[in-house]
Amino acid sequence: MKNGKSLQELAIELDRQSKVKRDYIANTKEMVMMVPEHDDDETTLDPVLSLPNIPNFTINSVAHDQIGAKVGIPTRYYNRMLEQNPELLATNVNAWFQKEPENRMIRTLDGKARAFVSDRYRRIDNHEIAMAVLPIIQKMEGATVESCELTDKRMYLKVVNPRIQTEVAKGDVVQSGILISNSEVGLGSVTVMPLVMRLVCSNGMIANTAGKRSRHVGRSNEGEDNFEIYRSETIIADDKAFVMKLQDIVRSTADAVQFERVVSAMKLSKDAKITSQNVPGVVQLAAKTYGFFESESQNILDHLIRGGELSLYGLANAVTRHAQDVSSYDRSTELEMTAWEMVNMERKDWTRLNAA
């Protein structure tokens, strides 16, 4: 499992962000993407997003992706314009802002537009989630936050409870855990998923098909005269009910019965041996099937060979071990989820991989 922030560092940053982030609702007719003026002809400045009477926002990659999707510009062409001709990008975006007007919510942090989402987007913020679930985790005897992180895309809390553990095979001990994650920028639901940590190498596997999700969709939000939006009493009441439900889900996900179901699938995958003599070919086919990058497949192969467990279980564990090596915490968590999908692959698909 990849290391992230300490729980104290996470708490400090969540508190800081809760004080400085701002949200605005505006119609796209009132928005302008523009490239700041500059004197150096050889320097290309990134576009900013402008609203009347509000300081301009720089735009992060998440918001750029969402703007591109809203106006219907293909990602590759959008990014090419962003890198090579930002003035052309601004012209295109502004034209579509005017031609197809729509109310949007702009979520900002530290002077940067970090999300460009629907005005119906329900704001369930990371600070709220953490304050709701951490007291529940503290009441779970022995449970600790093994890893946590805050990225531009999501907040992650990975909890492990050593009091609930078993063996996949003799000496191969796994412990029960939970992943709690949230995106403030429209990239997914609030999720609570079972997590299993393998002690021999501290690998984490996330059972992403066995969890609960709550979508960030609700009633339309309304902005004040300066476009900024605040929580109404009704929304606050809705959020209180949501928090209570979330706490119940966290308690139930930590259940030993749920853990045994996940471990049972892992044990079955251990019996699915790699029969092909072309082990690198098996890994390459798996890479194509599950979208591993070319650079990742070699590292996964190395971990598979070193682990010596030539089975579907060994392959999945090579993926979770590789997840500790990647620089991106988001990607690391994606890989931990992919490993679970591999463990549960259809046996006909496993037969196909074995035919490499």
pLDDT digit string, tens, across residues 20-48: 999 999 999 999 999 987 666 556 678 99
Greater confidence (292 vs 234) lies with: 292
Residue 273 Rama label (left phi>0; alpha psi -120 to 50; beta): beta
Q: pTM of the predicted model, to two decimals?
A: 0.87
Q: Write out the two tokens for 324.
A: 């500790």
Res. 200 pLDDT band, cuts 50 70 90: confident
Give the pLDDT confidence of 113-123 residue by residue, as tens digits: 999 999 988 88
- Summarize the confidence of residues 227-253 as an average pLDDT: 71
> How is the chain split into domains, by residue range?
20-118, 126-217+231-253, 271-354
Give the pLDDT confidence of 147-177 residue by residue, as tens digits: 999 999 999 999 999 888 999 988 889 999 9
User: Cα separation of 178 and 251, whole Å?
Assistant: 10
User: Cα separation of 181 and 125, whole Å?
Assistant: 11
Other Cβ atoms less than 10 A from the Cβ of 242: the count is 18
User: Cα separation of 176 and 161, whole Å?
Assistant: 6
User: Cα separation of 320 and 9, whole Å?
Assistant: 25
What pLDDT, on the 0 to 100 scale, is given for residue 224? 55
Identify the helix (H) or strand (E) that includes residue 175. strand 172-182
Q: β-strand 112-118 against 54-59: which pairing, if any?
A: parallel
What pLDDT, on the 0 to 100 scale, is given for residue 227? 63
Greater confidence (217 vs 58) lies with: 58
What pLDDT, on the 0 to 100 scale, is given for residue 148? 95
- Summarize the confidence of residues 135-141 as an average pLDDT: 88
What pLDDT, on the 0 to 100 scale, is given for residue 40? 61
User: Cα separation of 88 and 32, whole Å?
Assistant: 13
Backbone angles phi, psi at 259, to 5 degrees: -60, -45
Task: List the strands of the sheet with 22-27, edge to edge.
Answer: 22-27, 103-109, 112-118, 54-59, 48-51, 32-34
One-letter amino acid at 303 equals H
Q: Write out the two tokens for 63.
A: 């918001």
User: Cα separation of 317 and 267, whole Å?
Assistant: 12
pLDDT at residue 111 tops 80: yes
